[in-house]
Chain A
Amino acid sequence: MATAKPDTDLLKTPLHDLHVAHGARMVPFAGYAMPVQYPSGIITEHKHTRSAAGLFDVSHMGQAILRGADVAASFEKLVPGDIAGLNIGQMRYTLLLNEAGGIRDDLMATRIDEDGRFALFLVVNAACKGADFAHIATSLAGEAELEILEDRALLALQGPQAEAVLAALVPDCCDLVFLEGRDMNIDGAPAFVTRSGYTGEDGFEISLTADAASAFAEKLLSHEAVAPIGLGARDSLRLEAGLCLYGHDIDEATTPVEAGLTWVVGNRRRESADFPGADTILGQIADGASRKRVGLLPEGRAPVREGAPVQDGDGHSIGSVTSGGFAPGLEKPIAMGYVTTDHAAPGTSVQIELRGRSVAAEVVAMPFVKPNYKRS
């Protein structure tokens, strides 16, 4: 069993009692008691999200608003994305970088308008939020102020029926397309709704006050299309979608170029070269990186897991698996990991070490499952 803090030390999200009432198995995750699965199980939850709608509690994630005289210019000191180029209500995936070009965290930033002033609504990973918020506040002291939204819950409603379900309660949600967000009204209470997620499906993330979260979640769950989904299926869904899990597929020792996230480096930012680690990252964009994150498709049915060594046909080490599991949608194992660039082309045959033997695998393009975003 995984070592963990005693349950008594774990934080609870505003939906904790709801999870327990729905039969969730609660596990420690990033200091919180979180539902890993409900009685129907991970495979059923995964497939339900792909075919109908799944409700995820992601209240453990960090939410904050960054304000400042020129908040976009300030935030661009920490990330490589084009933040100044965001329109109001536009959301962007970006990265907090260290001076070596390594990834401190990945996050979503949405440009919002507060009575004529621009601000940024940020959502960061639970395990990183303390360090992220300290880094942002300290680095931008004197020019921008960070308000950490401690009293907010965050729900994700994901799947092809997410829009129909949410529209019955929040009609304005239909106005959003993928990677847009704005303030909306839920039962008379303010909420911030974005069209985004971590599953490869169309869907929404709804930031609302903690005291309103359970009642709203139960309303969503009362719809026959909606089932509660735990962290287990969240992981298998994001893996099929080829999305990185921080601390596993990306970390302080991986650069955006190695991670296949070069697209997060805005064109204007490549010109201005004024983000942390710019020398390293722009050098890798120009000359290539020595390793790359790739999709891996092992033969057979045995899943390969994080940490499994990857070798070339002659048994030479070329990298390792960073996420691996069983893809319920494909009914076979899938994985992602880093390999040396000369083995990173789709179609390359590699070997993955599994319990003392070698499993043949093929390097493949990601995502494993075609996304279903509503882009227009």
Chain B
Amino acid sequence: MADRKYTEDHEWVEVDGENGVIGISDYAQEQLGDVVFVELPSVGKVLDQRDEAAVVESVKAAAEVYTPVSGEVIEVNEELNNDPSLVNTDAFGEGWFAKLKLTDPTELEDLMDEGAYKTFLAGLS
């Protein structure tokens, strides 16, 4: 929780040492509705900040997920292939998308912390 940072596109990254886990926020999953498929990046893929990292398909539509930080994909959440609804039921936990080895940790400074993101969400409604 302490290290989770957010984008204005409702992605999050949770940093642990030199790695970061990325996903979408609870607000984002609620907006998308029932998630039926997640197209995950390949392990080994190198992503720049704001590159498309995944595609989330709900019943009605597809939505791109952009990585909040640059890095190399070192692991993806294979569980989403079996149960994409984990994105709905546990967006900040079991519904994670990928783990990146960060290449530029200073990018984290551009992102919102929990408090700033909550303020940002309050401004949307």
Contacts and interface: CB of A to CB of B under 8 A. Distances in A.
A131 to B, nearest CB: 26
A232 B36 contact: no
Contacts of B37: 301-303, 326, 333
Contacts of B88: 41
A302 B34 contact: no
A333 B33 CA distance: 16
Contacts of A235: 60
A128 to B, nearest CB: 21
Given A236-B60, A305-B62, 17 more contacts: A41-B33, A41-B88, A42-B33, A43-B59, A44-B34, A232-B33, A301-B36, A301-B37, A302-B37, A302-B39, A303-B62, A305-B61, A325-B59, A326-B58, A328-B59, A333-B36, A333-B37
Given A42-B34, A355-B39, A302 B57 contact: yes
Contacts of A37: 33
B46 interface: no
B57 A326 contact: yes
30 contacts: A36-B60, A41-B33, A41-B34, A41-B88, A42-B33, A42-B34, A42-B59, A42-B60, A43-B34, A43-B36, A232-B33, A232-B59, A232-B60, A235-B60, A236-B59, A301-B37, A301-B84, A303-B36, A303-B37, A303-B57, A303-B62, A305-B61, A305-B62, A325-B60, A326-B36, A326-B57, A328-B59, A333-B36, A355-B39, A355-B55
A158 B81 CA distance: 33
Interface in B11-61: 33-34, 36-37, 39, 55, 57-61
B66 to A, nearest CB: 15
Nearest to A325: B59
A357 to B, nearest CB: 10
B87 to A, nearest CB: 12
Nearest to A301: B37
A293 to B, nearest CB: 21
B48 to A, nearest CB: 18
Contacts, number: 46
Interface of B: 33-34, 36-37, 39, 55, 57-62, 81, 84, 88
Interface in A38-65: 41-44, 46
Contacts of B81: 301
B54 to A, nearest CB: 11
B86 to A, nearest CB: 14
A46 B36 CA distance: 14
Contacts of B84: 301
A235 B33 CA distance: 14
Contacts of A236: 59-60
A41 B84 CA distance: 15
A235 B39 CA distance: 23
Q: Which 8 A-B pairs have the closest CB atoms?
A: A326-B36, A42-B59, A43-B34, A301-B37, A41-B34, A326-B59, A302-B37, A303-B57
Interface in A2-47: 36-37, 41-44, 46
Contacts of B33: 37, 41-42, 232
Contacts of B34: 41-44
Contacts of A328: 59
Contacts of B59: 42-43, 46, 232, 236, 325-326, 328
B65 to A, nearest CB: 13
B27 to A, nearest CB: 13
A236 B60 CA distance: 8
Interface string A296-340: 000001110100000000000000000001101000010000000
Nearest to B30: A25
A232 B61 CA distance: 10
Contacts of A355: 39, 55
Interface in A219-273: 232, 235-236
B84 to A, nearest CB: 8
A41 B60 CA distance: 11
A375 to B, nearest CB: 30
Contacts of B39: 302, 355
A349 to B, nearest CB: 22
Nearest to B64: A355
Contacts of A44: 34
Interface string A133-176: 00000000000000000000000000000000000000000000
